[in-house]
Structure 1
């Protein structure tokens, strides 16, 4: 709060003092006919008024800055009524009452929203757990009958069910992940097993190298992220060439895991929107696309302190990069 703003709020007081000074000054000048006395009286009058303003401004600014700091440091702003003291000024009590009532109503709504969100998440997790049983049974029947086409469709269903589960959990990853040491090679190997039939069935040339790097992350969450990336790479693969490259690059502060496909690519105007929820693009094949895979993956990467970026050239390639910090230093290479 600036002193100029303080004076603007007290323009009536200043105007009233000027009127009073003119009245009493005229009266004193009539009695004593002394211009010097008038100047002395005016100087004393406005010096006292200025001192009063400075003291009042200092106290008000201290209180203003205190409230501003408390609010800025508060993570949950709707709880502001709990930290602000009740004002002494009668004119401020009405605003304090309105703030307290409004914040209380907001607190109740937030609590209700959290309760509903928790119930929804528990329902989704229960539903996924139940639906996994028939999916596993159908998958086993496909293996027994060697029906590869039906097996692929069952795998797609399983991936979509997993996507629902991870989306439901994406806002509460802090309660569901375990950071531990693993290798890029092991992570990629686990994901490639899930897409083995698709890769072989689509005659995709797979090139893997430089994956002997150790990183720290949650295996379950990164497995989901990698599966979303590989699923897109295979889904949008061109007829020729059909190539998929997976490799890593090590920098001073981070390690980049790079997945590059020779697919149909992404138009330049679409690249900034690939992480938007529900965005499927204008030129890409949209059959059964949800537009949620990369959105959830980006959300999970942010919570795991990983960087996820996409580079592409329409009709040539798409390159997805996951950046892992080395050790516990969450610092990304600015050149990568």
Structure 2
């Protein structure tokens, strides 16, 4: 009793009743429920509290036992108590955590609803912007084509060059708009998961890109089959292989597409023997709208590698480049199984 209530060992408590150490509410439970129930049934178990020397309430689990004589009369009543302070503290902590979790879930639901609304707005904006921008571009392209067809040789050579440059600019802008649309949709589309033969996927991509006859493109035999989002993997390979062809300084070259298997993912690589990339630009090339060559030299939107990076990282992988200026360039990316 002294240890439970933190009473000094030399203090005499023999003249005090245990009832003197109950707070009012606990004393009421003991008198109205505990003792009557123990007399009627032999025992009573419940939660009460005791008052410590400094006036604090100490939560306890209390067992009240009615001891009866042979003639079924009550000889005396005893009680056993167990300190519930740590248990109550843990329960209160759990309640607080549960309440925090409830608030967090409510906030998460609000944020999710807001994000869904913003995505819908972004889709609508992207569609309207695409339509509003592409319509005048088509008109400009058609106008340039009609001028060439109608006037033919009457157009001075310099003007013909200007018309061709205008058509090239229109095509670039159209590609830029399409690239922005693709970039904005990454991670927000319900892309189905399929069983993909990566070897066949890469071969189909190479066929669709129709590289110049002088290019030798080798695809490793060890390409896996895996359950994945085919469209996204196709976009990654298509951009990397297309860049390897587009930025090669010659009409002939070698491209090797290979894979290494790890425990949880595959590491794919696309290697070419082109100009190489200075290490100081290795991070820059993955930034949207960034190109290392003038757009008048090679038509490029500067979005392709940004799309690759966004897709790969959205799938939990990473992408990087290994290259030196004047040497081969190898793009690596990981793709989880």
Match of 2:220 among 194, 210, 219: 210
1:168 aligned residue: 184
Contact 1:211 / 1:247 at 8 angstroms: preserved in 2?
no
1:118 aligns with 2:132: no
Match of 1:244 among 245, 254, 257: 254
Match of 2:279 among 261, 265, 268: 268
1:61 aligns with 2:61: no
Highest Rg: 1 or 2? 2
Shift of 1:272: 3.9
Please give the residue correspondences for 1:310-325 in structure 2 after superposition, counting only pairs within 5 Å. Answer: 310-325=321-336
1:299 aligns with 2:299: no
Cα offsets for 1:60-115 (capped at 9, x unmatched): 5343322344456x3x7354xxxxxxxxxxxxxxxxxxxxxxx7xx7886565344
Shift of 1:210: 1.9
Instruction: Name the CA shift for 1:244/1:219 in 2 (closer, same or farther; >3 Å).
Output: farther
Find the residue that maps to 1:224 and give its secondary structure: helix
Shift of 1:323: 3.5
The number of residues matched between the two structures is: 251
Runs of 5+ consecutive residues of structure 1 not aligned to the other structure? 1-35, 38-43, 80-102, 142-148, 331-336
Instruction: Name the CA shift for 1:225/1:243 in 2 (closer, same or farther; >3 Å).
Output: same
Instruction: Name the CA shift for 1:210/1:109 in 2 (closer, same or farther; >3 Å).
Output: closer
| Separation (CA, whole Å) in 2 of partners of 1:230 and 1:155 | 21
1:285 aligned residue: 293
Contact 1:238 / 1:264 at 8 angstroms: preserved in 2?
yes
Contact 1:215 / 1:324 at 8 angstroms: preserved in 2?
no
Higher helix share: 1
Find the residue that maps to 2:240 and give its secondary structure: helix
Contact 1:128 / 1:165 at 8 angstroms: preserved in 2?
no
Shift of 1:220: 3.2
Shift of 1:319: 0.8
Instruction: Name the CA shift for 1:225/1:107 in 2 (closer, same or farther; >3 Å).
Output: closer
| Separation (CA, whole Å) in 2 of partners of 1:55 and 1:184 | 57
Find the residue that maps to 1:48 and give its secondary structure: coil
Shift of 1:245: 1.6
Please give the residue correspondences for 1:178-257 in structure 2 after superposition, counting only pairs within 5 Å. Answer: 178-196=192-210, 199-200=211-212, 204-211=214-221, 213=223, 214-238=225-249, 243-251=253-261, 253=263, 254-257=265-268
RMSD value, Cα: 5.0
| Separation (CA, whole Å) in 1 of partners of 2:301 and 2:108 | 35
Cα offsets for 1:173-220 (capped at 9, x unmatched): 22xx22223333332233223432xx42xx753231324633443443
Q: How high is the TM-score relative to the length of structure 2?
A: 0.53
Find the residue that maps to 1:249 and give its secondary structure: strand
Match of 1:48 among 40, 52, 55: 55
